[in-house]
Structure 1
Amino acid sequence: MKIITASEIASLGITPAQCVKWVREAFMMKHRCQLPAKLSVHPRGNDFFNTMPCLLPEEYNRFGCKVVSRIKGSHPALKSELMLFDTRSGEMIALVNADWITAMRTGAVATLAISTLRSSNASVYSFIGLGAMARATLDCLLATNPDTILDIRLMRYKDQAERIADEYAAHANARFSIVDTVEAFADGSDVIVSCITDADGLVAEDTSIFKPGVLVVPVHTRGFQNCDTVFDRVVADDRSHVEGFRYFHDFRDFSQLEDVLKGNRPGRTSDSERILAYNIGLGLHDVLFATKILEILQ
């Protein structure tokens, strides 16, 4: 059995653009996978352990299961490990540190949803919750829009907004601004990306501050439940992830991202629609990433 460390994965130089290609590949074969819904347990409060299994299509000969945790006060807040098996023998062939995988596949899926569902004239991209997931999303978003200048608006929290603006200053296709209020954050935003991991309430009580045509991407699902029943469309990475939501049966229109990518369901049909993209995370992406990484290392 091979143990694949975080430093080994980092040394491979896998690009954000490649990550977006991998998540698209995964969505296109999702219907051929065995993909049970993730199982969550909660030791206390909003802390959790998620168990995420997936059997890839037969030609891959791979089954994997990731365990990801979020424990308040931990650094980083999210931690994950993945077990990878050869389905021909049942042998466990790799134990993979999945912290990089979790961040990059999450950022790549958010970016794929953005490129699929944003309005045709989207230019202002607002971020709240500025940890590892926000950085991964920024990496993927900037990598896949090399010739377009994106106005990136950051919601101030401690010194994180200033740090991101400094870290990404070399990107010619990004212009950064920092705001201090939810009203300024949402005003005129075409795409809103929320990477907050712990929220007791709503980001904004009044849904009217979200403009016509906005795309809201709540990476960790928290803080936008009041949008569920008033936005025109909800798109998710998997039905099983959202059908337990309190307002699921009140969604005005629901699709899986897989079906939108394949053209089986409409994505955005006008630049005035307000859309929610709930991409909660698929073990499919984790297992495919681990399989690709193992192939590179062999």
Structure 2
Amino acid sequence: MKVIGHQEIEGLHLDPAIMWDWVDDALRHKSEMLMPAKISIHPGEDRFWNTMPIVMPTFGIGGVKLVNRYPGRTPALDAKILLYSTETGKPLALIDGNYITTMRTGAVAVHSADLLAVPGYQAIAIVGLGNTARAAMLVMAHRHPDRKFDIRLVKYKNQHRLFSERFSGYPNLRFSYCDSLEEAVAGAKVVFSAVTVFHDDVVSPEVFEPGTTLIPIHTRGYMQADLVFDRIYGDELSQIEDFKYFDRFPNFAEVAEVLTKKKPGRTSLEERILVYNIGIVAHDLYFANKILKLMSDTPSVSLSEPEGKFWV
């Protein structure tokens, strides 16, 4: 069994555009997978252990992802993936899940925008400028190298400047800074919200113009939009059906159902669309399997952790 750490995955220098394809392929086969709801244990204040099992017969793999959070640890949030062969039942690899979680989350956000936003969208608003937003921006820039994007960043401390400096080498990205989310979303066709925690709604849903696709990567802060947007999508019904207003969601469908033509996606340029991607272990295992294959000729190493606040 191989042991693959964060630094070894980074050393592969994966093309961010290929991660979009990985997300897409996994979703197209979602109905063939055995993927029960995650198990969540809370052993103390601000601590949790989440266990997510899955079997993916189409790809010959199965396994489990374990995520836990300890506030006093660095990093506080940690993820590991145990990958098995479904043919032999033998463990194939223990893989760092921090890189995979961040990059697949960013890729999923871009995939949802490409699938459900107004075609050819260019104006994008982003609030929350950490590693997940950076991952989404990387995938966006590499997936659409010939499209010019107008990126409006909501100011926060100095993160908006650090974010634009990180992507200064991409000629297809033009950045501007906004004092508020209301200012940033004016005219934006896609809104990425990557703030980890919002305790209350942060803006009125009326600030989002017709044709907007809102993608709250960490799901919080937009509950009132659940009641007035035209269509709402999600990556997994079981993770969304307990939302406060779920029984009033208009035209709900899973993203995978849109991909496989079982349910409609955007039907007009005026619809306001909301996408809740809570995160499914199918993407983690799919990414882990691809990475294992790319590293098949390398020796096992010890697990390593990401260094520094920003590593994307």
2:103 and 2:207 map into 1 onto residues whose CA distance is: 30
Q: For residue 132 of structure 1, what is the aligned residue in structure 2?
A: 131
Cα separation, partners in 2 of 1:42 and 1:226, compared to 1, 3 Å: farther
2:202 and 2:21 map into 1 onto residues whose CA distance is: 31
Tell me which of the two structures has the higher relative contact order, counting C-alpha pairs closer than 8 angstroms and 6 or more residues apart. 2
2:20 and 2:271 map into 1 onto residues whose CA distance is: 25
Q: For residue 304 of structure 2, what is the aligned residue in structure 1?
A: none
1:247-293, CA deviations, whole angstroms, 9 ceiling, x for partnerless residues?
11100110110111112211101111000011111100101111111
Q: Are residues 1:55 and 2:58 paired?
A: no
1:24-48, CA deviations, whole angstroms, 9 ceiling, x for partnerless residues?
1101111111011222334566654
The aligned runs of 1:135-284 (5 Å cut-off) are 135-204=134-203, 206-284=204-282
2:54 and 2:262 map into 1 onto residues whose CA distance is: 23
Q: Are residues 1:108 and 2:107 paired?
A: yes
1:153 and 1:77 map into 2 onto residues whose CA distance is: 29
TM-score (norm 1): 0.94
Alpha-carbon shift at residue 122 of structure 1 (Å): 2.4
2:124 and 2:259 map into 1 onto residues whose CA distance is: 22
Q: Which amino acid aligns with 2:233?
A: V
Alpha-carbon shift at residue 185 of structure 1 (Å): 2.1
Q: Are residues 1:22 and 2:9 paired?
A: no
> Gaps (5+ residues) in structure 2?
297-312
Identity of aligned residues (%): 39
Q: How many residues align?
A: 296
2:74 and 2:173 map into 1 onto residues whose CA distance is: 28
> Gaps (5+ residues) in structure 1?
none
Q: Check conservation: 1:2, 1:95, Cα contact below 8 A.
A: yes
Alpha-carbon shift at residue 52 of structure 1 (Å): 1.6
Alpha-carbon shift at residue 224 of structure 1 (Å): 0.8
1:129 and 1:72 map into 2 onto residues whose CA distance is: 20
Alpha-carbon shift at residue 89 of structure 1 (Å): 3.4
Cα separation, partners in 2 of 1:198 and 1:271, compared to 1, 3 Å: same
Q: Which amino acid aligns with 2:277?
A: N
1:180 and 1:109 map into 2 onto residues whose CA distance is: 27
Q: Check conservation: 1:46, 1:198, Cα contact below 8 A.
A: no
Match of 2:175, SS? strand
1:156-198, CA deviations, whole angstroms, 9 ceiling, x for partnerless residues?
1111110011110110110001111232122222111011111
2:270 and 2:44 map into 1 onto residues whose CA distance is: 41
1:201-229, CA deviations, whole angstroms, 9 ceiling, x for partnerless residues?
1121x211111110000111111111111
TM-score (norm 2): 0.90
2:65 and 2:133 map into 1 onto residues whose CA distance is: 21
1:74 and 1:181 map into 2 onto residues whose CA distance is: 32
Q: Check conservation: 1:81, 1:97, Cα contact below 8 A.
A: yes
2:2 and 2:53 map into 1 onto residues whose CA distance is: 19
Q: For residue 80 of structure 1, what is the aligned residue in structure 2?
A: 79
Match of 2:64, SS? strand
Q: Which amino acid aligns with 1:10?
A: E
1:56 and 1:77 map into 2 onto residues whose CA distance is: 30
Q: Check conservation: 1:234, 1:277, Cα contact below 8 A.
A: yes
2:192 and 2:159 map into 1 onto residues whose CA distance is: 15
1:153 and 1:288 map into 2 onto residues whose CA distance is: 32
Q: CA RMSD, aligned part only?
A: 1.7
Cα separation, partners in 2 of 1:92 and 1:25, compared to 1, 3 Å: same
Q: Check conservation: 1:154, 1:176, Cα contact below 8 A.
A: yes
1:261 and 1:15 map into 2 onto residues whose CA distance is: 23
Q: For residue 299 of structure 2, what is the aligned residue in structure 1?
A: none
Cα separation, partners in 2 of 1:121 and 1:20, compared to 1, 3 Å: closer
Q: Check conservation: 2:127, 2:181, Cα contact below 8 A.
A: no
1:155 and 1:54 map into 2 onto residues whose CA distance is: 37
